Structure 1
């Protein structure tokens, strides 16, 4: 048990330099550390664009943002920003640093931290003496289970007790976010219960056929449900939602597409009776917020990326016909790979979820 060799940590830095969903699925580590070491301060280092996933997380003391691309400029300005970030990490005097992917900037942060315990993954692409020097403690990552289980395996290897069955993800939002969303919903005429549908993904190969989504939307609206459509601000996603509005024209269907930040979207999801969407960040947000959901999956490793909740129904395109292998997908393609999924199974799952959860109280993280 590695943890028993070291005194209980006062400060731990968890590094996750990946996408929004990856960051959200890391949050059980934060809460598990707080349960094991109640006095510990847990910080996170993430890419700047993913910070909204963590800004309202009650288990974190500080979130470090690593800019990339054009976020911080070029040349000396970029170098200076990185140096200041590293100096700030050094000044925090971490006891443990856990690096949960293979990015070299994260390895440099671990190296300059001065932490007595530095963890990194043992992987072929990082089989260098420098990587081994920076990370004396390593394990081979496993992809046998869910991504949350892979993350928690790090703590188990360090001797930190954790039960994945009681390790939910955490997605927070502020009272200000909730108030803004309430105002937008009221202005759109939405009162009382509603179903939130997020039909888009930044990767369009994960999207379902528009006419089929419109059929589900129309069935809900025709049954008296208010339906709120959302998407990211990306114009392609907004255009997709606008097309659904035209196909499923009904006064009970409204759009907040492109109008919400991620914490505001979380507030909107938290207020919903049911979430319907594809394999995307909002789907994981709904799971973290305890909102019942129906999730449509295409060529994805479902066992790794399924919603981390027992309140979800997953519809997988592979169950309805041949499907391209996940590793063979060109993510830039405009082709959609959910066309195998018929309307009826989705509608059946929606009605089952509504029958099961429509009158149950939801639990959401509001801070």
Structure 2
């Protein structure tokens, strides 16, 4: 382990690495925001997977994004090597003073080790307890408490060698004025001119979803109260089919679907303008929490401690409070079973109305 980092350390160039899904990328923003607050003059860059770029591309604290395209491996060994070499060359050319590796992959460790940064921070994962991992990271942070920590708190723990505490960690989601304008045009075209509720009942994993019939009953109750509901989903055929089925079960005319029509920053602009977001354990739920839009999140067999919405203006309804749930680690993610089925419609309606009371 290297000697302690002096309090007066003032890095000019910082790289943060995280190679995960969309929601995971949003939950790195508290660490990015804390780095910006501590080092206001530093350049902060992020290395991430190409598909997750929309989560961070509008963040004002980030100078540039280094991209890994998962399709590189389809190009063949030599082409893949050229891409990886170009990435390492670009990282080294930035002359980072600090690299913070929040990932557990060997690839992220190799890039950290080859970065040339004098301060290379990573986690002391039990599964990576070997000389190579230690050589790549000269500051390693214990993961002993990770089981009790939210993902935001885990990420913030990596800043401990820099003397940055986790207290007050704040997530953020950003979008451009053009995104905001585009969303307003879409709402106007759909005749949504007043307050509205965003409902995103879909997830890439069906086991995280509530039944379509219950979602429709929720929508009917909200529209009966005079609310306008805007349905959203990813541009995925299974998710779009779910939205179509839910719409077919609704009698109200006060339901609009923008499913599959929005980029992630545009979805953020929509959620930011909403009175309430209702959804399941997904990236849009984390976006709502980061945007401080009131958020009602339905959870099933997910590790709540790690993935609950981060912030103050949120309410979680957990299926485990109504019926036994299997261990999150035992779930077959390809299953069609919907583990949220034990959640009663009446409780979700009551929680939504509690958020919406005028």
Q: Report the Cα offset of residue 5 of structure 1.
A: 6.7
Question: For the residues of structure 1 that align with 2:108 and 2:73, how far apart are their CA atoms?
Answer: 18
Give the corresponding residue for 2:165: 162
Per-residue deviation, residues 180-205 of structure 1 (Å, max 9, x unmatched)? 11111111111111000000000110
* 1:151 maps to 2:169: no
Compute the TM-score of the two structures, normalised by the length of structure 2: 0.96
Give the corresponding residue for 2:291: 289
Give the corresponding residue for 2:118: 116
Question: For the residues of structure 2 that align with 1:250 and 1:77, how far apart are their CA atoms?
Answer: 54
Q: Report the Cα offset of residue 70 of structure 1.
A: 5.8
Give the SS at the match of 1:9.
coil
Q: Report the Cα offset of residue 72 of structure 1.
A: 7.0
**Among candidates 39, 42, 58, match of residue 40 of structure 1:** 42
Q: CA RMSD of the aligned region, Å?
A: 1.5
Judge conservation of contact 1:15–1:45 (CA < 8 Å) in 2.
yes
Q: Report the Cα offset of residue 231 of structure 1.
A: 0.2
Give the corresponding residue for 2:276: 274
Give the corresponding residue for 1:364: none
Give the corresponding residue for 1:216: 218
Question: For the residues of structure 2 that align with 1:129 and 1:284, how far apart are their CA atoms?
Answer: 36
Give the SS at the match of 2:14.
strand
CA gap of 1:73–1:264, structure 2 versus 1, over 3 A, is farther
CA gap of 1:73–1:182, structure 2 versus 1, over 3 A, is farther
Q: How many residues align?
A: 354
Q: Report the Cα offset of residue 7 of structure 1.
A: 2.6
Question: For the residues of structure 1 that align with 2:125 and 2:171, how far apart are their CA atoms?
Answer: 26
Give the corresponding residue for 2:206: 204
Per-residue deviation, residues 253-284 of structure 1 (Å, max 9, x unmatched)? 01011111111111111111100000000000
Give the corresponding residue for 2:103: 101
Compute the TM-score of the two structures, normalised by the length of structure 1: 0.93
Give the corresponding residue for 1:73: 75
Question: For the residues of structure 2 that align with 1:253 and 1:3, how far apart are their CA atoms?
Answer: 55
Per-residue deviation, residues 181-230 of structure 1 (Å, max 9, x unmatched)? 11111111111110000000001100001111100001111111110000
Q: Report the Cα offset of residue 75 of structure 1.
A: 3.5
Question: For the residues of structure 1 that align with 2:165 and 2:195, how far apart are their CA atoms?
Answer: 36
5+ residue gaps, structure 2, are none
**Among candidates 284, 299, 304, match of residue 301 of structure 2:** 299
Give the corresponding residue for 2:232: 230
CA gap of 1:72–1:288, structure 2 versus 1, over 3 A, is farther
Q: Report the Cα offset of residue 124 of structure 1.
A: 2.4
Question: For the residues of structure 1 that align with 2:138 and 2:282, how far apart are their CA atoms?
Answer: 35
Judge conservation of contact 1:143–1:150 (CA < 8 Å) in 2.
no
